[in-house]
């Protein structure tokens, strides 16, 4: 049986909702032992976020980021429970929390209070806007709010319509991934130096880092992007186009692909047209280019164009729904769904961890835990 990369790692997870639980699940998939701390009688907020629920009545949202964990309910304002929490921490390698800044300190579980007793502890705090100022600490860290305040909504949606959020809590996901990288880097430092450290990640900074080219357009060139629908600010054609039946996505990233596109559409002359012969020219004349392409694409359906263009290595495809996306991954041999044993004896079908490793692959030892019992033991 293959070993697991992090099988000796002990994590105490005080986080809830999405960013923190995703970070600890990524580490749990790689073998870490994660003990999730939940509120007595209530648990993680996402246990109540539904529908949908599975056949056993458990929130599918909660299950998406809490597999491979055991759970215990502890009241941090109860002296006995607080001492149990402290004991778990002192036996752990990593602590993850995403309470409002100052809460862990108020119950004696802040980093400074723990580091002398557990010098090797890696202490990861996830916040909405950091904790450097009182104003930052007071802001509520909800993904939708950060998408708005962090500029993502300003570049998402139709230019003639209202700003739009992304269809999932993408900022939480990005922040959780940054947190898992920070934790692993801190553990590598501990191997060399023998000391733990505090890792701090916040939603707003994670989003700004994830703006990539849109962020650097502002920091380097002073350009502030706006909404462009499905078009790309720096590449054309790279958008959704209408056909005789359905919509086609084209993601043409270089001149070779553009020339192959024009040949397939029987308009090879466009590749030599000065308005479209280079990517910069195509970006400058994107509206004329769109008109030229759509007039040819109306000859047949998006499905047929996707087949013909893919055959000549032009990135093209239809817009799948989620079921279609999973079906595509299945057809490509990616096995996107895995089964994890649940407490009720059934198998829970969950999305596969995307990391592939030849020696220490991710494992799926258990589905998300049932509502915890409390101090008498983990579930």
- DSSP letters spanning 290-334: HHHHHHHHTTSBHHHHHHHHHHTT--EE----HHHHHHHHHHTT-
Question: Which of the four pLDDT bands, split at 50, 70 and 90, describes residue 46?
Answer: very high
The chain-wide mean pLDDT, for the chain, equals 94
Structure-block tokens of residue 278? 């280079």
Q: Reply yes or no on whether 81 is catalytic.
A: no
At 322 the pLDDT is: 95
Burial label for 160, CB within 10 Å (0-12, 13-18, 19+), is exposed
CA torsion angle 368 371 373 374 (round to 10): 90
Burial label for 255, CB within 10 Å (0-12, 13-18, 19+), is middle
At 201 the pLDDT is: 97
CB atoms within 10 A of CB 191: 8
Domains and CATH numbers, the chain: 10-210+334-351 (3.40.50.10540), 238-327 (3.30.1540.10)
Q: How far apart are CA 80 and CA 136, in angstroms?
A: 32
- Enclosing H/E stretch for 241: strand 238-242
Alpha carbon of 62 to those of 20, 165, 335: distances in Å? 12, 21, 22
Q: How far apart are CA 275 and CA 292, in angstroms?
A: 11
Structure-block tokens of residue 35? 């003990």
Question: Which of the four pLDDT bands, split at 50, 70 and 90, describes residue 55?
Answer: confident
Paired with 250 in beta bridges are 239, 316
Q: Which of 158, 172, 272, 376 is catalytic?
A: 172
pLDDT digits (tens, 9 = 90+) for 239-281: 999 999 999 999 999 999 999 999 999 999 999 999 999 999 9
Question: Which residues neighbour 6 within 8 Å (Cβ) at sequence distance 6 or greater?
Answer: 27, 30, 31, 32
Question: Which of the four pLDDT bands, split at 50, 70 and 90, describes residue 375?
Answer: low
Residue written as token pair 């964990």 = 69
Residue written as token pair 């697991």 = 4
């Amino acid at each position: 049986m293959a070993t697991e990369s992090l099988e000796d790692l002990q994590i105490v997870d005080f986080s809830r909702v999405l960013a923190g639980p995703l970070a600890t699940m990524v580490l749990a998939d790689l073998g870490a032992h994660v003990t999730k701390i939940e509120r007595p009688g209530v648990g993680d907020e996402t246990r109540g976020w539904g529908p949908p629920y599975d056949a056993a009545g458990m929130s599918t949202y909660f299950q998406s980021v809490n597999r491979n964990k055991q759970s215990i309910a502890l009241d941090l304002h109860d002296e006995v429970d607080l001492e149990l929490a402290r004991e778990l921490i002192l036996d752990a390698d990593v602590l993850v929390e995403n309470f409002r800044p100052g809460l862990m300190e108020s119950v004696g579980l802040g980093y400074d209070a723990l580091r002398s007793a557990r010098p090797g502890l890696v202490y990861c705090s996830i916040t909405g806007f950091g904790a450097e100022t009182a104003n930052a600490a007071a802001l509520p860290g909800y993904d939708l709010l950060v998408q708005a305040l962090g500029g993502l909504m300003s570049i998402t949606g139709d230019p003639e319509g209202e700003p739009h959020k992304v269809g999932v809590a993408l900022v939480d996901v990005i922040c959780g991934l940054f947190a898992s990288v920070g934790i692993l880097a801190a553990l590598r430092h501990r191997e060399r130096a023998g000391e733990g450290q505090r890792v701090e990640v916040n939603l707003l900074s994670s989003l700004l880092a994830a703006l990539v080219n849109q962020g650097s357009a502002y920091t380097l060139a002073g350009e502030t992007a706006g909404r462009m629908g499905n078009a790309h600010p720096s590449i054309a054609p790279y958008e959704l186009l209408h056909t005789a039946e359905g919509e086609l996505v084209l993601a043409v990233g270089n001149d070779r692909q553009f020339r192959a596109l024009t040949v397939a559409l029987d308009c090879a002359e466009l590749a030599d047209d000065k308005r479209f012969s280079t990517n910069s020219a195509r970006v400058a004349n994107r509206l004329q280019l769109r008109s030229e392409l759509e007039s040819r694409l109306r000859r047949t359906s998006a499905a047929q164009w996707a087949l013909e263009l893919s055959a000549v290595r032009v990135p093209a495809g239809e817009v799948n729904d989620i079921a279609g996306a999973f079906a595509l991954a299945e057809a490509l041999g990616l096995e996107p769904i895995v089964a994890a044993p649940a407490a009720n004896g059934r198998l829970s079908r969950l999305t596969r961890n995307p990391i592939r490793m030849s020696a220490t692959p991710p494992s799926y030892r258990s589905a998300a835990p049932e509502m915890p019992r409390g101090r008498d033991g983990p579930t």
